[in-house]
């Protein structure tokens, strides 16, 4: 498990492109037959992916968590970006289809990621510390009924699919979902904002050969990252997080911190950005 520690806003403003990407961008998460995991100091969130082939994969044991097993004091949200697969939790197997989301609460010792046999299964996951128990729960993509928001004239007409949140699947602190766009819309989270009480991780996917220009940094000292398919951006509490694609895409967002209030944000009006 790799560790990621973040520079201060002032230090971030001095970083060259390669160092900025090394600190805030994660690539190479999706490796066939492997499980990857990165431990961050974003509210101690762990982000990774599991791509089982012929053999099941299990959550990694690491001294990074300081516990006997991965979910002893943690919860996890798992979203399948590939072909249907299975996640076995204890003695029960959960059929997780394309864009289905599985939540597992703390205390579950045995978790296995299993290929469904119909193609490449690609599980993406984010884990946060948790003390209160919550039951394992599955959200089916086919059951989502989300109204669009945004304005086609501003190229930001989109659907925000909330999967793990206080009014849906309950958790201790993890909030997770994904956003998808209507044809012709490419801007996400514009106008931007920061979360002084929470931190966030983005994973861009379904880009194909397109790219996203992701804006980050302080609102008055913005930086940018060029992001490719299935790359993750790590967003500290002081950083904005928004972007525009050269074509169609989706992105997963996951948050941890002091609260689970989706609307708790500090706006950064477009006129104030620099």
pLDDT for 143 beyond 90: yes
Q: For residue 38, what pLDDT is reported? A: 96
Looking at the fold, whether 223 and 184 belong to one and the same domain comes out as yes
What is the mean predicted confidence (pLDDT) over 113-140? 95
Number of separate domains in the chain: 2
Looking at the fold, whether 129 and 251 belong to one and the same domain comes out as no
Looking at the fold, whether 135 and 212 belong to one and the same domain comes out as no
The boundaries of the domain holding residue 185 are: 148-272
Residue 11 is inside which H or E element, if any?
Answer: helix 9-12
Q: For residue 51, what pLDDT is reported? A: 98
Rounded Cα–Cα distance for residues 156 and 161 (Å):
15
Confidence of residue 93 (pLDDT cuts 50, 70, 90): very high
**What CATH number is associated with residue 37?**
2.60.120.10
DSSP 59-91: PPP-TTTTSSSTTSSEEEEEEE-SS-EEEEETT
In degrees rounded to 5, what are phi and psi of residue 197? -110, 0
Q: For residue 216, what pLDDT is reported? A: 97
Confidence of residue 210 (pLDDT cuts 50, 70, 90): very high
Q: For residue 264, what pLDDT is reported? A: 84
CA geometry: angle 64, 46, 227, nearest 5 deg: 130
Which one of 87, 110, 140 terminates a domain?
140
Q: For residue 204, what pLDDT is reported? A: 98
Give residues with Cβ within 8 angstroms of 91, minimum separation 6: none
Give residues with Cβ within 8 angstroms of 168, minimum separation 6: 139, 162
Which one of 86, 107, 140 terminates a domain?
140
């Amino acid at each position: 498990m790799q560790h990621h520690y973040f520079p201060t806003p002032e230090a971030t403003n001095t970083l060259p492109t390669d160092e900025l990407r090394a600190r805030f961008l994660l690539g190479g998460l999706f490796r066939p037959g492997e499980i990857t995991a990165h431990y961050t100091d974003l509210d101690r969130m762990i982000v990774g992916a599991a791509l089982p082939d012929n053999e099941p994969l299990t959550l990694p044991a690491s001294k990074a968590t300081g516990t006997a097993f991965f979910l002893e004091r943690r919860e996890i949200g798992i979203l399948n970006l590939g072909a249907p697969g299975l996640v076995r939790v204890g003695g029960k197997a959960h059929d997780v289809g394309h864009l289905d989301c599985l939540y597992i609460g703390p205390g579950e010792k045995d978790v296995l990621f299993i290929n469904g046999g119909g193609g490449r299964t690609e599980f993406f996951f984010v884990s946060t510390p948790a003390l209160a128990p919550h039951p394992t729960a599955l959200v089916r993509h086919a059951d989502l009924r989300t109204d669009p928001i945004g304005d086609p004239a501003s190229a930001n007409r989109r659907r925000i699919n909330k999967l793990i949140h206080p009014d849906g699947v309950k958790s201790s602190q993890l909030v997770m979902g994904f956003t998808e766009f209507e044809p012709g819309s490419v801007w996400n989270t514009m106008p931007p904002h920061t979360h002084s009480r929470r931190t966030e991780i983005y994973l861009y996917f379904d880009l194909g050969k397109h790219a996203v220009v992701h804006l980050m940094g302080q609102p008055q000292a913005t930086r940018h990252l060029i992001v490719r398919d299935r790359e993750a951006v790590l967003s500290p509490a002081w950083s904005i997080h928004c972007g525009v694609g050269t074509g169609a895409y989706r992105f997963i967002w996951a948050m941890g911190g002091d609260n689970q209030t989706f609307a708790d944000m500090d706006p950064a009006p477009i006129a104030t950005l620099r």
